Structure 1
Amino acid sequence: MRWRSCLVVIARNEAATITRLLASVRPFVDDMLVMDTGSNDDTVRLAEAAGARVAHFTWIDDFAAARNAALDAAGADWHVVLDADEWLIGEGSGAALNALRLTAPEFIGTIDLHDQFDGGTAQSRLSRVLPGAVRYTGRIHEQPVHSLPIRALPIQVAHDGYLPERLHVKQGRNAQLLVAEIQGDPANSYLWYQLGKDHSVYDRFADAEVAFANAVECLTALTPPTDAAEGALNDESQRPPWWFDLVARRLFGLKSLKRHADGMVFAETQLHLCAESPDFFFALGDLLLDWAAETPEQSEVLIPMIEDAWRRCLEIGEQPGQSGAVAGRGSHLAAHNLALVLEATGRAEEAQALRARHRSVK
């Protein structure tokens, strides 16, 4: 049996990127549906020129409502849900999309998302390949509702919505919607994490810290604390996939707020939970280095800790399967920082050898 597949996009004023997305996916799906939510630029014309069907939806500050209207209009067996500032990459991605035409829609497929930001790339897995009947819930950072098995698909997608030139367009929008969602569900740790992430992206670190602290409190309240960890976090099956990202972002925020001691206290609670996260140890080394710069009298104590943190990054290595993992923190970025410390402490030969092992270190 042959199954129909459709790319499903909601868009508003995405003339700068919509053609790139549609051109990257068009050869591998049967249909493309763009749900326009009120564009006043060339989005609609460009989408139609690229071969997409265009429908219209009056925006009501609810991403799930817009997504679901788009899915209703698409009406395919498989829906591939992407955003206008994303596009298909990777040699095997097209073949994986093609294969959906011969695959029964009996599971949820995840894609490998590569978030580009100023200074690097972070990876995460998101549920974006949906059987036709699956719909979304949630006004912001909406999630598909289902009880189906989840299968990781070899589909790679790039996203550049976090680059500085794109961030200003949606500044404040997501935070406003997240606050509205949290008012109705104040114990939802994921919503608090997303609010903290949104604040941190725009360098609102004090607001981010409040949100991240609430996310930690909500999650650890799920079960009583144990001697080994804080509540639910000690159970890997209950620990959310975004936890490592939250920890690293929170440490960076506390560093930016010059709350180094608070960051160190939090980091100590995470040492065993994040033992295999290069992003955690990278952020820890960064916080400690900033602390040493602020308090030179403590550098004799802090520098060995900084060195240990970045050596641990290299021992763990790259972990692209961890949600939010930043490329290079388990390899050349950590090696670069460590080499600078080695040089600053009179170990130039060791720094040179380290650079030789990581040729991308500049």
Structure 2
Amino acid sequence: MIVKNEERSLERCLQSVQGKVGEIIIVDTGSTDQTKEIARRYTDRIYDFEWIGDFSAARNYALEFASSDYILHLDADETLEDPNNELMGNLDKDFYYIRIKNDLGTGLVLTHQFVRLFRNSPEIRYKGALHEQVQLDHNIHQYGYLSTLILHDGYKDDIIKSKQKAQRNEHILLEEIKNNPTAFNYYNLGMQYIVAGQYNDALNALKKSYTLANNYTFSQKVVLEIMKCLHELGRYQEAVKVSMDAVELYENIPDFWYQLGLSYLEWGMLKDAEDSFNKCLEIGEEKSQELLNHYDGTGSYLAQGQLAKVNLMLGNNEQALEYILSAAKAAPNVTGFFNIFLSILPNASPKELLQHVIHIWPYQTERHANLIATLYQQRHPLLNEFITYHNLDVEYPISTLHYIFENNYERALAELNQQSQKGTDHFITNNVILLSFLLNNPNLISEFKNDISLSEKEAKWFKNIILKKVPTQSIHVNKALLMIWKQLILDLIQLQKYEFIDLLISATKQAEFRLIISECLQQYGFDELALEVLIECDNSHVNRQVYMTAAKSLIKLGAAEDALFYLSKAEGVHLDFNVLFEKWRIASTIDKFEEIKILQKMIQSYPESRWAKRTSGAILG
């Protein structure tokens, strides 16, 4: 091991190898915390190495002290799982691949295979200043695979930020590329840019890597990451085109189909996304392991989670619930599944929801802490039922919302008064505005003016609404204000304070605010009222959203002709796949000729849609 300031995790790592290895050798590159003291509890083989910006140099220095027949390389933020005692068994290969499971947080796991166990030979040494690896020739050396696992948590966002390694790693890689511009080094640079959220830079580096060589074990991962970068940059058409080539090249690896499905989904091609995720399930999870790096679940529970999301968007709530319950049973720690589950049953009572939660998400301290955080982020009334059932003590800021859901508004206000200066709650603006309505006290907005994110004009606007004074002038629309407005609507619906919804509807004639009210009402099944709220304006972009929202409610109410009218108006503003798809859904039930016409327009405008081509071909024959 080489270490520096690893007191957070070193003991956990060393405990995991006790009794599994013959000697522990640790090279410290300049720790200033308790790292060495922790290490001394397990070994006296601790050596110092002056850091020179080269991980291989430090690794090779550590190898000089090894006396055993085989060498196992671990990092401090890793632990070993070897239940079958393979490491102390009959090893006879020159090197062994071991699976490393990287905990990305929120239940997501990235698994890759890497050489971590190899014969102690002076011929085998590390190369590469960063992401160093031993140099082995598959044509000469014998290699094997172990069922032993290494568990790694160093890729979690909070840990990456706390270690502040991004700039250091980027600098090392750029220096390495100057001297050795290989495909592997450009791949590592691209991955480093992804960690930093610099997707344009990552895309350029990954393209360079693939141009230099595309026949290495990591080349598949390069293609997959190119697909992801295009997706993150919102370049969905390009992402789909690259993905379509990739699934032909790597047909039976679900990771590529999964990423294709994600890009189709964001682009609005729901049926193509559905096909892609179904293909993932057809291939299955085992095929993922053929990829050097793969995301656990792309051939099983992650694909099921996405199919739940697709079916929810298609209005197939029962099917969506089946998928999400299956996915959550298989992977209860994936936080995103809980979010989807809550979206599928917006009108279910908290008691009904709790029965599902008890069954699907059995109690575990960390898991339930994540569920509570999710319920708080969604400001969902299940929060109270959950807290009561498990007899939990909660603190600010969760306690504030807890008291609001209990209708104990004065206690919630007292919490805010005690804690507002601490700045620990990003919902403080929402809570102040909500309590101002519930307590019919507009002065609260003034009292908390230094803690909430409202301008003077916005504060006055909300106060006038509470006082039932219809504003005489329009308020400037901005993204932050719209988000506050939306959360207020959702909070009031969740609390079933419908009289305030009527107040908000009558308080504004601005189309943007009414659109949000309509969308929220629609989400909870109040489609007739959602239609009444909508108004047009002189902004074509807003009008298009108005038309699409109207069409969605009209479809649910069975008014197909009226829905087609608004879809055509939306198409007149801007044509996209979503408009054509909704028109097709209506036409497919009433007019076969019109259905074919719409499908042909889809194929012409969006040749990337395999579903449209297949559906058209099936009809024509």
Q: Name the CA distance, whole Å, in 2 between partners of 1:160 and 1:356.
A: 27
Per chain length, whose mean CA-contact separation is higher, i.e. which structure has more relative contact order (CA < 8 Å, sep 6+)? 1
Cα displacement (A) at 1:108: 0.6
Q: Name the CA distance, whole Å, in 2 between partners of 1:11 and 1:40.
A: 11
User: Could you say if the C-alpha distance between residues 356 and 55 of structure 1 is closer, same or farther in structure 2, counting changes exceeding 3 Å?
Assistant: closer
Q: Which residue of structure 1 aligns with residue 277 of structure 2?
A: 310
Residues 1:81 and 2:67 are matched in the alignment: no
Q: Which residue of structure 2 aligns with residue 323 of structure 1?
A: 292
Q: Which residue of structure 2 aligns with residue 176 of structure 1?
A: 171
> Does the 8 Å contact 1:244/1:277 carry over to 2?
no
Q: Name the CA distance, whole Å, in 2 between partners of 1:90 and 1:325.
A: 21
Q: Name the CA distance, whole Å, in 2 between partners of 1:205 and 1:11.
A: 30
Residues 1:126 and 2:114 are matched in the alignment: yes
Selected match of 2:160 from 155, 167, 192: 167
Q: Which residue of structure 1 aligns with residue 575 of structure 2?
A: none
Q: Name the CA distance, whole Å, in 2 between partners of 1:153 and 1:14.
A: 27
Q: Which residue of structure 2 aligns with residue 116 of structure 1?
A: 103
> Does the 8 Å contact 2:102/2:109 carry over to 1?
yes
More strand by share: 1
CA RMSD, aligned part only?
1.9
> Does the 8 Å contact 1:244/1:279 carry over to 2?
no
Q: TM-score, structure 1 length as denominator?
A: 0.83
Q: Which residue of structure 1 aligns with residue 550 of structure 2?
A: none
Q: Which residue of structure 1 aligns with residue 43 of structure 2?
A: 51
Residues 1:202 and 2:196 are matched in the alignment: yes
Secondary structure, counterpart of 1:84 in structure 2? coil
Q: Which residue of structure 2 aligns with residue 342 of structure 1?
A: 311
The one-letter amino acid paired with 1:11 is V
Q: Name the CA distance, whole Å, in 1 between partners of 2:157 and 2:144.
A: 33
Selected match of 2:210 from 207, 216, 219: 216
The one-letter amino acid paired with 2:273 is I
Cα displacement (A) at 1:246: 2.6
> Does the 8 Å contact 2:73/2:117 carry over to 1?
yes
**1:166-203: CA deviation from partner (whole Å, max 9, x where unpaired):** 212112222211111111222x2121111111111221
> Does the 8 Å contact 2:244/2:260 carry over to 1?
no
Selected match of 2:150 from 137, 144, 157: 157
Q: Which residue of structure 2 aligns with residue 254 of structure 1?
A: 230
Secondary structure, counterpart of 1:96 in structure 2? coil
Cα displacement (A) at 1:265: 2.5
User: Could you say if the C-alpha distance between residues 12 and 357 of structure 1 is closer, same or farther in structure 2, counting changes exceeding 3 Å?
Assistant: closer
Q: Which residue of structure 1 aligns with residue 409 of structure 2?
A: none
Cα displacement (A) at 1:219: 1.7
Give unpaired runs (5+ residues) of structure 1. 1-8, 221-238, 293-301
More helix by share: 2
> Does the 8 Å contact 1:110/1:128 carry over to 2?
yes
Secondary structure, counterpart of 1:98 in structure 2? coil
Q: Which residue of structure 2 aligns with residue 351 of structure 1?
A: 320
Q: Name the CA distance, whole Å, in 2 between partners of 1:340 and 1:97.
A: 43
Selected match of 1:145 from 132, 135, 142: 135
Cα displacement (A) at 1:71: 0.5
Cα displacement (A) at 1:90: 4.8
Segment of structure 1 superposing worse, 126-135 or 313-322: 313-322
The one-letter amino acid paired with 2:282 is E
Selected match of 1:98 from 88, 98, 108: 88
User: Could you say if the C-alpha distance between residues 91 and 248 of structure 1 is closer, same or farther in structure 2, counting changes exceeding 3 Å?
Assistant: same
Segment of structure 1 superposing worse, 339-348 or 177-186: 339-348
User: Could you say if the C-alpha distance between residues 219 and 162 of structure 1 is closer, same or farther in structure 2, counting changes exceeding 3 Å?
Assistant: same
Please identify runs of 4+ aligned residues in structure 1 that moved more than 3 A.
Answer: 348-362
Give unpaired runs (5+ residues) of structure 2. 331-336, 342-621
Secondary structure, counterpart of 2:224 in structure 1? helix
Q: Name the CA distance, whole Å, in 1 between partners of 2:322 and 2:307.
A: 12
From the CA coordinates, give the structure whose radius of gyration is larger: 2
Q: Name the CA distance, whole Å, in 2 between partners of 1:174 and 1:97.
A: 31
Q: Name the CA distance, whole Å, in 1 between partners of 2:128 and 2:74.
A: 17
User: Could you say if the C-alpha distance between residues 138 and 332 of structure 1 is closer, same or farther in structure 2, counting changes exceeding 3 Å?
Assistant: same
Cα displacement (A) at 1:96: 0.8
Cα displacement (A) at 1:118: 2.6
Q: Which residue of structure 1 aligns with residue 557 of structure 2?
A: none
Q: TM-score, structure 2 length as denominator?
A: 0.50
Q: Which residue of structure 2 aligns with residue 136 of structure 1?
A: 126
Q: Name the CA distance, whole Å, in 2 between partners of 1:14 and 1:340.
A: 40
Q: Which residue of structure 2 aligns with residue 296 of structure 1?
A: none
User: Could you say if the C-alpha distance between residues 310 and 146 of structure 1 is closer, same or farther in structure 2, counting changes exceeding 3 Å?
Assistant: closer
The one-letter amino acid paired with 2:77 is D
> Does the 8 Å contact 1:55/1:73 carry over to 2?
no
User: Could you say if the C-alpha distance between residues 245 and 52 of structure 1 is closer, same or farther in structure 2, counting changes exceeding 3 Å?
Assistant: farther
Q: Name the CA distance, whole Å, in 1 between partners of 2:318 and 2:6.
A: 51
**1:45-81: CA deviation from partner (whole Å, max 9, x where unpaired):** 1101123520011111111110000000223221111
Selected match of 1:190 from 175, 184, 189: 184
The one-letter amino acid paired with 1:219 is A
Q: Name the CA distance, whole Å, in 2 between partners of 1:35 and 1:353.
A: 52
The one-letter amino acid paired with 2:320 is A
Q: Name the CA distance, whole Å, in 2 between partners of 1:248 and 1:39.
A: 37
Q: Name the CA distance, whole Å, in 2 between partners of 1:357 and 1:62.
A: 46
- Output aligned runs, 1:257-268, within 5 Å: 257-268=233-244
Cα displacement (A) at 1:16: 0.9
Q: Name the CA distance, whole Å, in 2 between partners of 1:162 and 1:349.
A: 36
Number of equivalenced pairs? 321
Q: Name the CA distance, whole Å, in 1 between partners of 2:306 and 2:180.
A: 41
The one-letter amino acid paired with 1:123 is T
**1:329-349: CA deviation from partner (whole Å, max 9, x where unpaired):** 111111111122123213334
**1:310-332: CA deviation from partner (whole Å, max 9, x where unpaired):** 11111111135222211111111
Q: Name the CA distance, whole Å, in 1 between partners of 2:279 and 2:293.
A: 18
Segment of structure 1 superposing worse, 262-271 or 129-138: 262-271
Cα displacement (A) at 1:135: 1.2
> Does the 8 Å contact 1:135/1:145 carry over to 2?
yes
Q: Percent identity?
A: 29
Cα displacement (A) at 1:269: 2.4
> Does the 8 Å contact 1:244/1:280 carry over to 2?
no
Q: Name the CA distance, whole Å, in 1 between partners of 2:82 and 2:275.
A: 35
Cα displacement (A) at 1:352: 4.2
Cα displacement (A) at 1:83: 0.8
Q: Name the CA distance, whole Å, in 2 between partners of 1:255 and 1:87.
A: 33
